[in-house]
Each structure stands twice: as structure tokens, then as C-alpha cells.
Amino acid sequence: MSKLVLSLLFILAACAPRPGLPPPPDPAFQSPGAGWLPGAETRESVFFLGTEGALRYGGIVRVWMMQNRTYAGGRGLRGEKSLRYRAEFDCRARLTRTMQTSAFAEANATGRALLLDAPAVSAWQPLPPDSIGVRNAVVACGWIGGSGLRE
């Protein structure tokens, strides 16, 4: 009987969280892989900008973006954990618009597709100072666009 109790105590001790060890990483904060640059980060979302397939014409940069939800529950209106969309930034006029949107059940545009490549061409919108949009535009215009955009 004492061997059984000691064995159970040993198992419980082995399974208990160890102080000083970090929790497992949240996939929402991990880069989707090569070809993605970190963009803006808020309490609710982490953004990544894709460098592969990015286009630049004049002062306009077209780039794939990924948004991972990070808040508790971390799901949007469709139940999505992540969004992938094609965005354009006018680096000279400080404008942005969305061209195409997809929603996915898991982080980094993985899992079941809840909405796939829906056309979402929006009108050009100004980039408000100190916004998520301007932080992503700084990355897109600076790395891909070359000339840069300052916050």
C-alpha cells in the first residue's frame, strides 16, 4: 500500500507545473514561417505581412497580411482565429484599402476555411496617426516599398 501511495505522489509531482518554465508558446504569436514579417501587435491581435508575392507600383504597395486573434476566446464573428487578406498601402498619400479576405478556424491561416478569398475591395481610407494601420504601413512601405513611411 505504501508503495502505491509513493508511486502516486511521484506521478503527481512529475506532472505538476515546474516553476520557472515558460508556458507553451501561443501559436497566434508565432510567425507563420519564412516570408512573413511581424507587423502591428495589440492586446487583441498580432499582424504579419507577407513578403512573397508583394507588389510595388509607384508609391503603392500590395501585400498579403495575416491577423491572428490573441484575446481570451480569440474568435471573431465567424468563429475565426485568424484572417488573411490582401491589402494595399499608398505610401505617399498615407491611404489603405482591403482587396480580398479569408477567415480560418486556427491561427496562421490554418484549419478549416470559414470564408475563402471573398472579394472585399474597399475605398481608399486614410491611415489615422498612431493606428494599427499606420504601424503595418510602416512595415509594408519600409521593407517592401523601399521609400518608407514614418509614423
- pLDDT score of 12: 44
Strands 110-119, 95-106: parallel, antiparallel or unpaired by DSSP?
antiparallel
3-state secondary structure 133-150: HHHHHHHHHHHHCCCCCC
- Look up the CATH number of domain 26-144: 2.40.128.710
What pLDDT band is residue 145 in, cutting at 50, 70 and 90? low
> Is the CB of residue 69 less than 8 Å from the CB of residue 28?
yes
- pLDDT score of 116: 82
β-pair partners for 64: 86
Mean pLDDT for the chain overall: 78
- pLDDT score of 74: 66
- The domain limits of the chain are 26-144
